[in-house]
Amino acid sequence: MKIRYSDEKKIFNIHTDNIPYLSFDMLDKMGVPNLYSTRYISYDEESGDGIKGLKLAVMKTDNIAEAAPVVINNRNELARLLRSDIRHECSIVQKHTNNVIVVTPSDLGPDWPGKIPPHRRNADGMVTDIPDALLTIYGGDCPPIYIADPVRKAIGLIHAGWRGTLGQIPAVAIRLMKERFGCDPSDMFVCIGPGICRECYEMGDEVYDAFASEWGEDAAGRVFRKYPGTDEDGREIKGGRYHLDLREANYMTVTKAGIPADHVAISNVCTKCNVNIFYSFRARRMENEQAAMMVNRFGPINSMH
């Protein structure tokens, strides 16, 4: 699959035998089933072509009665590639918050859109220690963050847009895993998934101001850069526009929360730079969304130490 990477590090493994997806090499080596989907329903490596249009989420414009069975079936097909199925899945209605829920057995199984329980309608992260639980979140340009604790056998999956990143949602999840499952951050591994890169992620001054206020100007200076920019009429903006680095911001948050730096894998894939492969809100190509999936199952971890 012809993905444009920002560097040559081997962060992902590419799978194209069935429905194509990316998986984190770090999590694969731990035996943790994980994936990040693409636009593709199928892909042929030999020809370099495939069928696009994979639908995994019900969109606001969809007819729910028609769309829901399709997306549930598609997610189940992906789950099977992870040796799981939809009966073990928990998903949430993401609202760009820093709210994280603890998944219980009653949360598992496919829920018809509109009938998802209230506690899952305003959250952007999930954590669980239930064996074989399957966590699913959606995104276009917002990176998913995968958290794995091979000692306590617990995982977390986070949707980290700029608002959640501002609210340090990965740290919220890590703290919840410490409190509820007895996790030690020094044992945990974090993977920051595909999402929009800094060069593509233009923001208004108010977003920089929010980070400077909440994080301090030094920290804001690490995650923002100014690039040349134009206004709606095409006139050059004096001083340029701020651009936000979601990868660096979330890396700062998880390492500050106690995750060792060498336990963090950071995506080198931008969804907007690869809009032919991924759905992207900023590229105005959000016909649907990617799914990030992770199963609470661990294999041998000797290769990680």
Domains of the chain in start order, with CATH, are 12-201+245-292 (3.60.140.10)
Q: Is 191 helix (H, G, I), strand (E, B) or coil?
A: strand
pTM of the complete model: 0.96
Instruction: Say whether pLDDT at 110 is over 90.
Output: no
Q: What angle do CA 246, 286, 36 make, to 5 degrees?
A: 60
Please give the Cα distance from 129 to 124 (Å, whole number): 18
DSSP state, 130?
Answer: -
pLDDT of residue 235: 79
Instruction: Say whether pLDDT at 272 is over 50.
Output: yes
Average pLDDT, rounded, for the chain: 95
pLDDT classification of 305: cutoffs 50, 70, 90:
very low
* Residue 20: both structure tokens together: 């194509």
Instruction: Say whether pLDDT at 233 is over 80.
Output: no
- Amino acid letter for position 285: R
Residues whose CB falls within 8 Å of the CB of residue 71, separated by 6 or more in sequence, listed in order: 55, 56, 57, 58
pLDDT of residue 236: 82
pLDDT classification of 121: cutoffs 50, 70, 90:
very high
* Least trusted range by pLDDT, from 16-20, 34-38, 112-116, 189-193: 112-116
Q: Which residue has the tokens 């990143």?
A: 165
* Residue 100: both structure tokens together: 């994280």
Residue 162 Cα distances to 166, 249, 266, angstroms: 6, 9, 17
Instruction: Say whether pLDDT at 302 is over 50.
Output: no
Of 198, 189, 228, 234, the residue nearest 28 (C-alpha): 189
Contact of 255 with 247, CB cutoff 8 Å: no
C-alpha 62 chain-centroid distance: 23
Residues whose CB falls within 8 Å of the CB of residue 185, separated by 6 or more in sequence, listed in order: 174, 178, 257, 258, 259
The residue that leads in pLDDT, 198 or 113, is 198
Residue 86 Cα distances to 81, 127, 165, 251, 252, angstroms: 12, 17, 29, 31, 34
pLDDT of residue 161: 97
The string of DSSP letters for 40-79 reads EEEEETTTTEEEE----S--TTS-HHHHHHHHHHHHHHHH
pLDDT in tens, 244-255: 999 999 999 999
Instruction: Say whether pLDDT at 303 is over 50.
Output: no
* Residue 9: both structure tokens together: 């590090």
Please give the Cα distance from 254 to 261 (Å, whole number): 9
Instruction: Say whether pLDDT at 304 is over 50.
Output: no
* Least trusted range by pLDDT, from 37-51, 107-121, 165-179, 252-266: 107-121
pLDDT of residue 44: 94
Q: Is 166 helix (H, G, I), strand (E, B) or coil?
A: helix
pLDDT of residue 231: 75
Helix (H) or strand (E) holding 146: strand 144-149
pLDDT classification of 4: cutoffs 50, 70, 90:
very high
Instruction: Say whether pLDDT at 68 is over 90.
Output: yes
Q: What is the mean pLDDT of residues 257-277?
A: 98
pLDDT classification of 113: cutoffs 50, 70, 90:
confident
What percent of the chain has a predicted confidence (pLDDT) above 90? Answer: 90
Q: Return the number of other C-beta atoms located less than 10 Å from residue 257's C-beta.
A: 18
Contact of 102 with 150, CB cutoff 8 Å: no
DSSP state, 112?
Answer: -
Contact of 90 with 126, CB cutoff 8 Å: yes
